[in-house]
Amino acid sequence: MNDSDSAGDGIRDIERVVIVGGGTAGWMAAAALSRFLDNGRRQIHLVESDAIGTVGVGEATIPPILNFNAMLDLNENEFLRATQGTIKLGIEFVNWGGLGERYFHPFGSYGQDLHGIPFHQLWLREQARGEPGYISDFSMSAAAAAGRRFGRPSREARAPLSEMLYAFHFDASLYARFLRGEAEKRGVRRHEGRIVHVHRHGESGDVASVELESGERIAGELFIDCSGFRALLIGETLGVGYEDWSEWLPVDRAIPVPTASHGSPDPFTRSTAHGAGWQWRIPLQHRTGNGHVYCSEFIGDDEAESVLMANLESEAIAERRVIRFTTGRRKQSWSHNVVCLGLSSGFLEPLESTSIHLVQNGIQRLLALFPDHPVSPIERDEYNRGMKNLYEDIRDFIILHYKATRRDDTPFWRHVAAMDIPATLQRKIDLWRLHGRIFREGAELFGVTSWVAVMLGQNVWPGRHDPIADTLDEDKVAQAMAQMRQGYRAAAMALPSQEEFLRAAGAWAASDVRPQPIAAR
Ligand SMILES: Cc1cc2nc3c(=O)[nH]c(=O)nc-3n(C[C@H](O)[C@H](O)[C@H](O)COP(=O)(O)OP(=O)(O)OC[C@H]3O[C@@H](n4cnc5c(N)ncnc54)[C@H](O)[C@@H]3O)c2cc1C
C-alpha cells in the first residue's frame, strides 16, 4: 500500500500531473498548479513542441484576471512590463447596432442604485421624460476610457474612483513566456518534443503516458490537455465529441495582423463590425493587435484580408495567416483522467475576450475539485456541469451582439438578425423588452451592466421602465443623477493618461522597441 493510501482502498494522492501543450493555457495551468500543488510530493510536467508552435493570439482579458494574478502573487507592474501590457477598461463597439453607430461596454457598474432600484431603471425613466445623457456617462471605467485615462484605484479609494474596474491587454507570447518563468521557478519540468503516441491503461481506459518522437515516455495520473485545436488527448485519444454552435455563431475564420503603434495606447479594445464579421483592435505598449474574424460562407479569405488591410491605422508588421475554427465546446471538459483547457475545450470567438477567462476558470475549478487517484466521477461530473453552464452563458451573451442588430446591409447581417437563438437567450430578451429587467443568474459571468450595455447599445429598448422606479421623486432622482455624472467626469479628468500612468508606475517596458513594418524590412 502507498504511504498516502490512507483509506487502504486503493485511493491515493495524485503524484504526477502532465500538462500537454505550452501555449497560454498550458503555462497558465503550470503556473497555477505549481503554486498550489507542488508541495514536494507532486511533480508537474509540461510537454510542448516548438515545431508545432502555439496559436499566439489572445491579447484581451476581462477583470477576473486580477484574481488570477493575485492567486499567483504576481506583481502587476512587473507583469505589465514583461508582457508589453496595457490597461483595458471595456470594449468600444462600432457599427454593431447599426452602421455609423457606436457604444461602450464598460467594466464595473453603471451609477448607484437608489433605494434598491437598479440604476439603469432610473436612467430609463429619465430617458422617457428628458435627456439624462448616455448611460456610459455613468460608469467610472467608461468615463476614464473616454478621456483615455487611467489610475489604479487603491484599497482606500472612495467612490466614484473605487468603482473603476479594469483588465489587461498583453502580448500572448510574452504572457506565456512570463508564466513559464513563474512555473519553472516553482519546479515545473518542461519537455520539448512532439507527442507521437498516447498510451492508455487497458482496464480503465485512462491515459497512462505520452510518448515523444525521441522515445521518451512521460507518465502521470492526471493529464491536462492544452494541445490547442488538435485536442490530442480529449478529442483524438478519448474521442470526446464537440458540440457545434455555428448555427448561432457562424463566424469560422480569423486573420490576425499586428501593426506598428499608433500614438499613445488607448485603454480599451475596439470591435468594428464589417460586412461579414468584425475586426478587433488591441493597443499594446509596443504594437497594436488587429484581426478580422469572419464567416467564410459570406466572404472569401482574400476579400477578408483586403477589408482588414483597408481598416488598419498603421503598417502591418507580420505576414497574414488564416486561422480556422468552429465555435462550440467539447461535450465534456473532463473525461477519464484528462481535463482539457483552452482551445482543446472549445472556442467562442474573441468578441468579449472570454477564452483566457475560460482557461482561468477551468484551472480554479480544477483546484477546487482536485481529485484523488483514481478520479471520482462525482468530482468530475461537478466540474463538467460548471464548465457547461459557463460556456453556455457566455455563448448566449455573444449571440446577443449578432441577433440584436438593425443592420440589413449585407447577407451576413440579414442572416444573423433572422436566425433562431437558444431559448435561454430568447427568455432574457423577452423579459428585457417588457420592463428592462435583467437578472444575473447563478454563477453567470456577465452581470447586469454588461447586458444593459449591449441591449441599449444595439437599440433593444424595453417597452417601458420598471414601474417601481416611478415611486421615487422625479426631481430628486434627476438631481442625484446629475451629481453622479459630474462625479464620474471630474474623477476621470483628474487621472493621468494611461501611458503617463504606466510610465510613472514602472509598468512601461524599459526597452521602447517598436517593431518595424514589413514594408521597411
Ligand atoms: C483569432 C483568435 C483571437 C483570440 N483572441 C483572444 C482574446 O482577445 N482574448 C482571449 O481571452 N482569448 C483569445 N483567443 C483565445 C486564446 O488565444 C486561446 O484561448 C489561448 O491562446 C489558448 O490557446 P491554447 O494554449 O489552448 O492553444 P495553443 O496556443 O494552440 O497551444 C497548443 C500547445 O500544444 C502543443 N502541442 C500540440 N500538439 C502537440 C503534440 N503532438 N506534441 C507536443 N505538443 C503539442 C503546441 O506545441 C502548443 O504548445 C483568441 C483565439 C483566436 C483563435
Q: Are 480 and 114 in contact (CB under 8 A)?
A: yes
- State the chain's mean pLDDT as an integer: 94
Give percent of the chain above pLDDT 90: 89
pLDDT at residue 1 is higher than 50: no
pLDDT (mean) for 247-264: 95
For a pocket test of ligand 1, which of 54, 169, 270 has the largest count of ligand atoms closer than 8 A to its C-beta? 54
Q: Residue 220: what residue type?
A: G
Asked whether the predicted pLDDT for residue 5 surpasses 70, the reply is no
Pick from 179, 154, 153: nearest CA to 71: 179
Strand order in 43-48's β-sheet? 189-192, 43-48, 16-20, 222-225, 338-340, 334-335
CB 253 within 8 A of CB 304: yes
* Distance, CA of 445 to CA of 392 (rounded, Å): 10
Q: Out of 209-223, 324-338, 456-470, 500-514, which region has the weakest mean confidence (pLDDT)?
A: 500-514
Rounded to whole angstroms, the Cα distance separating 157 from 145 reads 18
Ligand 1: which residue has its CA nearest to atom 47? 49
Q: Which residues, including other chains, have CB under 8 Å from residue 427's CB and lie 6 or more apart?
A: none
359 pLDDT tier (thresholds 50, 70, 90):
very high
Residues 86 and 498: beta-carbon distance below 8 Å? yes
Distance CA 455, CA 400 (A): 8
Is-cis flag, bond preceding 374, omega within 30? Answer: yes
pLDDT (average), residues 80-91 = 98
- In this model, does residue 10 exceed pLDDT 90? no
CA of 47 to the centre of ligand 1 (A): 14
**What is the Å distance from ligand 1's center to 365 Cα?**
20
The predicted structure's pLDDT at residue 521: 38
Cβ-proximal residues to 234 (8 Å cutoff; 6+ apart), any chain: 225, 240, 330, 332, 333, 335, 338, 340, 344, 345
Give the model confidence (pLDDT) of 126-162 as tens digits.
998 888 899 999 999 999 999 999 999 888 888 899 9
Is 88 one of the annotated active-site residues of the chain?
yes
End-to-end CA distance of the chain: 64
Q: What DSSP string runs through 29-47?
A: HHHHHHHHHTTTT-EEEEE
Ligand 1 neighbourhood includes 256 CB (under 6 angstroms): yes
SS3 111: coil
Alpha helix ranges (H) inside 186-333: 301-310
Judge if the beta carbon of residue 52 lies within 6 A of ligand 1: yes
Q: Is the pLDDT of residue 4 over 50?
A: no
pLDDT class for 513, splitting at 50, 70, 90?
A: low
Residue where the block lists cell 470594449: 91
- Averaged over 59-80, what is the pLDDT? 97
Calpha distance 275→99 (Å, rounded): 10
Q: How far apart are CA 139 and CA 118, in angstroms?
A: 14
Residue 2: is its pLDDT beyond 50? no
- How sure is the predictor about 520, in pLDDT bands with cuts at 50, 70 and 90? very low
Whole-number Å distance, alpha carbon 495 to ligand 1 midpoint, is: 36
Record the cell numbers describing residue 174, joined without a space.
510574452
Angle between helices 24-37 and 172-185 in degrees, nearest 10: 20
- Residue whose C-alpha cell reads 486503493 in the numeric block: 10
Helix (H) or strand (E) holding 493: helix 474-493
For cell 428628458, the residue is 130
Angle at 67 between CA 164 and CA 70, to 5 degrees: 110
Instruction: Return the bridge partners of 170, or none.
Output: none
- CA gyration radius, the chain: 24
Q: CA 111: distance to chain centroid?
A: 24
Q: Is the CB of 291 under 6 A from ligand 1?
A: yes
480 vs 472: CA distance, rounded Å: 11
Q: Is the pLDDT of residue 3 over 60?
A: no
| pLDDT for position 253 | 98
| Average pLDDT of the segment spanning 397-410 | 98
Ligand 1 lined by 54 (C-beta under 6 Å): yes
Q: In this predicted structure, what is the pLDDT of residue 318?
A: 82
Query: Could you read off the pLDDT of 199-219 as tens digits, one per residue?
Result: 999 999 999 999 999 999 999
197 in contact with ligand 1, CB cutoff 6 A? no
pLDDT tens string 277-331: 999 999 999 999 999 999 999 999 999 999 999 999 999 988 889 999 999 999 9
CB distance 350 to ligand 1 below 6 Å: yes
Q: Does ligand 1 have an atom closer than 6 angstroms to the CB of 342? A: yes
In Å, what is the CA distance from 281 to each residue of 290, 292, 311, 438?
A: 5, 9, 10, 29
pLDDT in tens, 474-488: 999 999 999 999 999
Pocket test for ligand 1, best of 18, 19, 48, 207 (most atoms within 8 A of CB): 48
pLDDT > 60? residue 373: yes
* Distance separating alpha carbons of residues 47 and 37, to the nearest angstrom: 18
Q: Is the pLDDT of residue 425 over 70?
A: yes
| pLDDT reading at 399 higher than 80 | yes
Which of the four pLDDT bands, split at 50, 70 and 90, describes residue 343?
Answer: very high
Instruction: With beta carbons less than 8 A apart as the criterion, state whether 90 and 63 touch.
Output: no
Phi, psi of 452 (to 5 degrees): -65, -40
What distance in angstroms lies between residue 96's CA and the mean position of ligand 1's atoms? 27
Please name which of 68, 72, 60, 55 lies closest in space to residue 21, comparing C-alpha atoms.
55
Say what the pLDDT of residue 178 is.
97
Beta carbons within 10 angstroms of residue 158's beta carbon: 10
Q: In the prediction, which pLDDT does 156 show? A: 85
Give SS3 for 201.
coil
The mean pLDDT value for 450-454 works out to 98
**401 phi and psi, to 5 degrees?**
-60, -30
